[in-house]
């Protein structure tokens, strides 16, 4: 139960920071701010209360607003697994020290910018409830809006979902296309998808996952991506 609460609190913090960044960049009105609409969809996906969403929007407009810098860290975990760490921080000195410490203690190494990211492709990833949707028809309808892949996956609670992937540069076009079709994504994220994956035995994989878990627990870390199969 406590682990579930910790995970929920972490998700709320992550989405709250995303809301602040989105409001600062595009204003507080979701009707004219696609990034904020995306954040609000993601807030709903993790069951973030409406009052907390509204509080984050207000906080982003306040005089005491915290400015977050989005920084990507790259490194290798145990057994040569490539890892990308997305952060949103108001103190990059603290963040890099914490991230480096986790890598070192977990048997990994923090690398330089560009040392790992080339092994991944940044993509837009939308998850849709499959009810009432024909995946073949949807695939044909979305090809003109940057669709690269459509398949089955799982949502936050293990439920079946349709996963729509598009190029990073087509994220806005895809978001608009789904909205115009009356489809509200369960979540809409920008993710780093590995070009190839590394297969390890169970014990080795646990070494990597322990490091990933430690990284995800850091208050400045938003998301962690890796190429472990």
Chain segment 38-57, per-residue pLDDT in tens: 999 999 988 999 999 999 99
CATH number for 2-61: choose from 1.10.10.200, 1.10.600.10, 1.20.1250.20, 2.40.50.500.
1.10.10.200
Chain segment 55-73, per-residue pLDDT in tens: 999 999 987 778 899 999 9
Whether the Cβ atoms of residue 119 and residue 225 lie closer than 8 Å to each other: no
Return the pLDDT at 1: 59
Confidence of residue 2 (pLDDT cuts 50, 70, 90): low
200-to-171, 197, 205 alpha-carbon distances in Å: 33, 10, 6
Chain segment 158-189, per-residue pLDDT in tens: 889 999 999 999 999 999 999 999 999 999 99
The larger pLDDT score, comparing residue 193 to residue 7, is at: 193
> Residues 6 or more apart from 204 whose CB is under 8 A from it?
78, 79
pLDDT at 140 over 90: yes
Return the pLDDT at 5: 73
Confidence of residue 3 (pLDDT cuts 50, 70, 90): low
Q: Which CATH superfamily is domain 119-194 in?
A: YebC, transcriptional regulation domain (3.30.70.980)
Measured in whole angstroms, the distance separating CA 228 from the mean position of its chain's CA atoms is: 17
CATH of segment(s) 69-117+195-226: 3.30.70.980
Q: At what angle do helices 202-217 and 92-105 cross, to 10 degrees?
A: 160
Look up the pTM and report it: 0.90
Return the pLDDT at 66: 81
Measured distance CA(50)–CA(40) in Å, rounded: 9
């Amino acid at each position: 139960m406590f682990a579930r609460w910790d995970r929920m609190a972490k998700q709320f913090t992550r989405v709250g920071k995303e809301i602040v960044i989105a409001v600062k960049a595009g204003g507080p009105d979701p009707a004219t701010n696609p990034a904020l609409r995306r954040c609000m969809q993601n807030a709903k996906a993790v069951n973030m209360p409406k009052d907390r969403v509204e509080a984050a929007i207000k906080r982003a407009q306040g005089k005491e607003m915290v400015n977050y810098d989005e920084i990507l860290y790259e490194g290798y975990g145990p057994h040569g697994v490539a890892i990308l760490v997305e952060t949103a921080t108001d103190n990059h000195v603290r963040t890099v020290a914490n991230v480096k410490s986790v890598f070192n203690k977990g048997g990994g190494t923090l690398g330089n910018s560009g040392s790992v990211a080339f092994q991944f492709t940044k993509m837009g990833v939308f998850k849709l409830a499959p009810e009432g949707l024909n995946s073949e028809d949807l695939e044909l309808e979305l090809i003109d809006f940057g669709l690269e892949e459509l398949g089955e996956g799982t949502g936050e609670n293990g439920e079946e979902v349709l996963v729509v992937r598009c190029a990073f540069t087509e994220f806005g076009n895809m978001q608009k296309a789904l909205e115009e079709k009356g489809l509200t994504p369960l979540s809409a994220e920008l993710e780093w998808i590995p070009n190839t994956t590394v297969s390890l035995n169970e014990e080795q994989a646990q070494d990597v996952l322990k490091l990933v878990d430690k990284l995800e627990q850091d208050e400045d870390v938003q998301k962690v991506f890796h190429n472990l199969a």
